[in-house]
């Protein structure tokens, strides 16, 4: 059995050259090799290409490299979590390439498996597809995505043995396992290094053959950024939003695997009881999501896709991002409840690009919208200025085409029956006349 060298964070940083492409693990700051990245920030290394879900947070992890002017380009799925990355993209000091979250994970997995690329239905018909090769396979339009590899991968695991075998903790897998396979040089930051044999073979997530160096580093609350802590307590929620959440919950069935988006959909989680037997999935790598803890943060609990600490229900499981999005694209998620900016008469959804804002934060929306068996959209019926959100044709950049099954607003419920946008229910306090006036698209009425 080989022995992997244990080095300091500073020695690890010295192995990275200007112009290198870096793979940096983590979902937000969870599972992020923050000590390795901060050691790199103390060097004069420049012109780096940073590949990760996001560029850390302002001043943390990749955010520190960004402040130092060490990054030339960033490839990821959600740059809007770092306001400084958004500003750098807008002023042209940082080149960015936006990739849907599941596509990013699969591109890394493919790169590590020696596969040149793959076709995916995610992003078909959207601006993200760009000029990529598009083919129809098994009746679905699919976009070709080339594999991703890096010169150096910086990842974090919970434990390693002296042979480099890795074990991850809770939702800290995310992009780390795929990145460990997809770089010429792999450096792993770990909480603890133990002797060979102290991690049972069945508990090893990444075999040591991928690992070149280990660095021991202890995680602190300061390293976790916005996930460091969560306060319990009752939420004050507008009644109309709660009504939308309650109506969405009526569509979920016992045994369903369900993914909830941010915003109004997250309220559904607060309404689910154990007796309902609804299994919540979060795309960063967890099935069996429970309610938020009364206190504590990512040092003690898993986190959800909103980077908020949650509890794990009995029977919960953890996995990496590539496996998570395989569940989504493979049709194993029964329902997704998502927010929306626009939905149109033929079931197209636009929900990731805010008017007047840079297009820098697609996350997992495109994968979920095209991959879930059933897509329920919850949103206010109009914008604050009264502009309808249900429109004849989406004018905002699309998330998915023809994928929406139901729209629940504060005024009404619409379904797509026999291919037609159909009003099936009025929400509490709403009248048919106001729904007609506030809906931009033509619809059929089938009120029970």
- DSSP single-letter state for residue 180: H
Sequential DSSP letters for 199-246: S-GGG-SB-GGG--EEEE----GGGGGGGS-EE-S-----HHHHHHHH
Q: 413-429: buried (b, 16+ CB within 10 Å) or exposed (e) per residue? A: bbbbeeeebbbbeebee
pLDDT at 229 (0 to 100): 67
pLDDT at 234 (0 to 100): 53
Please answer whether residues 303 and 171 qualify as being in contact, where contact means their C-beta atoms are separated by less than 8 angstroms: yes
Report helix angle 101-112 to 321-329, nearest 10: 120
Sequential DSSP letters for 288-335: EE-PPPSEE-TTTS-B-TTS-B--EEEEEEE-BHHHHHHHHHTT---E
- Catalytic residue, from 84, 106, 283, 415: name it: 283
Residue 264 backbone dihedrals phi, psi, to 5 degrees: -55, -40
pLDDT at 361 (0 to 100): 87
CA pair distance 246, 376, nearest whole angstrom: 13
What's the first-to-final CA gap in the chain, in angstroms? Answer: 69
How far CA 341 is from CA of 187, 261, 382, in Å, comes to 41, 13, 9
Structural tokens at position 174: 């995310």
pLDDT at 334 (0 to 100): 97
Per-residue pLDDT of the chain (448 residues; tens, 9 = 90+): 899 999 999 999 999 999 999 999 999 899 999 999 999 999 999 999 999 999 999 999 999 999 999 999 999 999 988 999 999 999 999 999 999 999 999 999 999 999 999 999 999 999 999 999 999 999 999 999 999 999 999 999 999 999 999 999 999 999 999 999 999 999 999 999 999 999 999 999 999 999 999 999 999 988 888 877 665 545 567 899 999 999 999 999 999 999 999 889 989 988 999 999 999 999 999 999 998 888 888 889 999 998 889 999 999 999 999 999 999 999 999 999 999 999 999 999 999 987 777 778 899 999 999 999 999 999 999 999 999 999 999 999 999 999 999 999 999 999 999 999 999 999 999 999 999 999 999 999 999 7
Residue 283 annotated to the active site: yes
């Amino acid at each position: 059995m080989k022995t992997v060298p244990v080095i300091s964070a500073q020695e690890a940083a010295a192995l990275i050259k200007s112009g290198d492409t870096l793979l940096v693990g983590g979902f937000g700051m969870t599972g992020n090799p923050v000590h390795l990245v901060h050691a790199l920030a103390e060097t004069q290394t420049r012109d780096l290409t940073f590949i990760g879900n996001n560029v850390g947070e302002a001043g943390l992890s990749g955010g520190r490299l960004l402040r130092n002017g060490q990054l030339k380009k960033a490839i990821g799925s959600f740059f809007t979590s770092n306001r400084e990355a958004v500003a750098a993209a807008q002023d042209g000091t940082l080149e960015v390439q936006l990739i849907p979250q599941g596509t990013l994970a699969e591109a890394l997995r493919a790169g590590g498996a020696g596969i040149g690329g793959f076709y995916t239905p995610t992003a078909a018909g959207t601006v993200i597809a760009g000029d990529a090769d598009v083919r129809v396979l098994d009746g679905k339009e699919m976009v070709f995505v080339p594999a991703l590899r890096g010169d150096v991968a910086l990842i974090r695991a919970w434990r390693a043995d002296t042979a480099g075998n890795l074990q991850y903790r809770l939702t800290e897998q995310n992009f780390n396992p795929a990145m460990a396979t997809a770089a010429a040089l792999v450096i792993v930051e770990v909480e603890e290094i133990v002797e060979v044999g102290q991690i049972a073979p069945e508990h090893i997530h990444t075999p040591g053959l991928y690992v070149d160096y280990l660095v021991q580093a202890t995680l602190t609350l300061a390293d976790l950024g916005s996930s460091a802590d969560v306060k319990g307590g009752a939420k004050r929620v507008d009644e109309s939003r709660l009504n939308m959440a309650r109506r969405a919950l009526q569509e979920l069935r016992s045994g369903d695997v369900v993914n909830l988006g941010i915003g109004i959909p997250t309220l559904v989680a607060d309404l689910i009881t154990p007796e309902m037997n609804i299994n919540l999935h979060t795309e960063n790598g967890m099935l069996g999501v429970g309610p938020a803890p009364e206190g504590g943060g990512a040092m003690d609990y898993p986190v959800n896709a909103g980077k908020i600490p949650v509890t794990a229900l009995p029977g919960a499981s953890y996995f990496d991002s590539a496996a998570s999005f395989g569940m989504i694209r493979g049709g194993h998620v029964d329902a997704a409840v998502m927010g929306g900016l626009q939905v149109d008469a033929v079931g197209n959804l636009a929900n990731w690009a805010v008017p007047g804002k840079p297009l820098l934060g697609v996350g997992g929306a495109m994968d979920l919208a095209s991959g879930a068996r059933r897509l329920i959209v919850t949103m206010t019926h109009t914008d604050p200025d009264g502009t309808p959100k249900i429109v004849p044709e989406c004018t905002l950049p699309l998330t998915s085409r023809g994928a929406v099954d139901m729209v629940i607003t504060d005024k009404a419920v619409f379904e797509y029956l026999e291919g037609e946008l159909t009003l099936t229910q009025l929400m509490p306090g709403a009248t048919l006349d106001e729904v007609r006036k506030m809906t931009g698209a033509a619809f059929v009425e089938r009120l029970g």
